Amino acid sequence: MKRIPFTCYCILFWASFAQAELTVLGDSPDDVTLPYFHVTGALQSARAQPDRAMHADLSTFTDAAWILPVRSHYLSPGPITPRNLNMPGLHPFFLVGGDPQSLTWLRQHAAGLREMGAAGLAVEVADSESLARIRAAAPGLTILPVNGNEIAIRLQIEHYPVLITATALEQ
């Protein structure tokens, strides 16, 4: 009976010495991952540059059919009450759907959205044709199909279309 607790103590003691060693990628100049860091730009600067926005190159993701349909159960088309936000550093983005109200809103605001560099999230998209209609309403803007439930919860919104910036939430 006394051997079991002693055995357990020994196992716990020796387990503390059996930890795996961490391997740091990109630590040496002859590292095989260096070309990949060069492509992504991960080693370009050792310090963060908060005054410079980083943008992902989404041009390689042209076919979003694999994620469709997208449904956001906490959001629906409708009017929103504009309000101030205090989210410094937030890049402007907007939420839209495939409904007529969203398509009209996109056509009316496309130039302003392009000017501010806003990214679009299509939170209600039935199929590829619906996504194509949304993107055609605002050519030159990046609009990706994404479930918007988490955004709706965090920003306490129920409706779209909506523009979200660092200082305001508006339609």
Tokens representing residue 167 in the block? 């200082």
Q: What is the pLDDT of residue 62?
A: 56
Q: What is the pLDDT of residue 30?
A: 56
* Per-domain residue ranges of the chain: 3-40, 58-170
Q: What is the pLDDT of residue 67?
A: 83
Third-level CATH fold of 58-170: Glutaredoxin (3.40.30)
C-alpha–C-alpha distance, residues 164 and 171, integer Å: 9
Q: What is the pLDDT of residue 46?
A: 46
Per-residue pLDDT of the chain (171 residues), as tens digits, is 555 666 666 666 666 666 666 556 555 555 555 555 554 444 444 444 445 445 454 544 556 777 889 999 999 999 999 999 999 999 999 999 999 999 999 999 999 999 999 999 999 999 999 999 999 999 999 999 999 999 999 999 999 999 999 999 999
| Burial grade of 160 (CB within 10 A; 0-12, 13-18, 19 or more) | buried
